[in-house]
Amino acid sequence: MLFDTHAHLNDTQYNEDLEEVIERAENEGVTNMVIVGFDRPTIQRAMELVENYDFMYACVGWHPVDAIDMTDEDLTWIEELAAHPKVVALGEMGLDYHWDKSPKDIQQEVFRRQIRLAKKVKLPIVIHNREATADIVEILKEEGAEEVGGIMHCFSGSPEVAKECVKMNFYISLGGPVTFKNAKKPKEVAAEIPLEKLLIETDCPYLAPHPYRGKRNEPGYVKLVAEQIAEIKGLTLEEVAEATTQNAKKLFGIK
């Protein structure tokens, strides 16, 4: 019973073998997954998938790298989709200072607008953070994001920042990097953050865990993330799977 809380099966990399990928995930015990759309094409594809598969849910929002492209119409469309029974969160949203396509001020404004929308529609938010931790935390506090809470997706920061986010009603989600031999911070976070505040994800097709690092990721590999967390915490795989699945269902309002 594993819940991949962040998957991009709407990526074109799965066009040829989607059914095989899904079958492998089921064979590894993956019972639920959230498909994340972050621009027009990926949101549309995410909605198609959740209409076709009972165990898939959607998260819809606008990625910070493409913030400069988001229009008022796009935000209205996301608000309309938020009413769909299988849309369980808004995102991924946030800040990405690694790429310079969208200026920081535009990224921040688009981020703030999506947080306000999430509060309006009463859905949790999924946060993308790359090289922007201080600004992310500040904006979450200023906008009262604690009201809806959400997920710090593929968290790569320190245990101290993770604890600050937990206080703001956020879950800490760990992905493939926690399995990398040189990934000191994710392992520390796995050790220090209570299991009741942890989630697992693949972020597939990106960030495949060891021993698939550098290859295309897929939802079935989320089991390797759970196994690593179990090893770090001295728990069984079943305990981590059960807890992280219940955490995800509670956050997303899934029965």
Per-residue confidence at 207, pLDDT binned at 50, 70, 90?
very high
Work out the angle between the directed axes of helices 237-252 and 222-233 (0-180°, nearest 10): 110
3-state secondary structure of 199: strand
Kindly report the average pLDDT of the chain as a whole number: 98
Q: What is the pTM of this model?
A: 0.97
Sign of CA dihedral 125, 131, 133, 135: negative
d(CA 94, CA 129): 6
3-state secondary structure of 170: strand
Per-residue confidence at 129, pLDDT binned at 50, 70, 90?
very high
The per-residue pLDDT for range 51-75, each reduced to its tens digit, is: 999 999 999 999 999 999 999 999 9
d(CA 132, CA 228): 27
The per-residue pLDDT for range 165-205, each reduced to its tens digit, is: 999 999 999 999 999 999 999 999 999 999 999 999 999 99
HSE-CB of 181 using CA atoms within 13 angstroms: 3
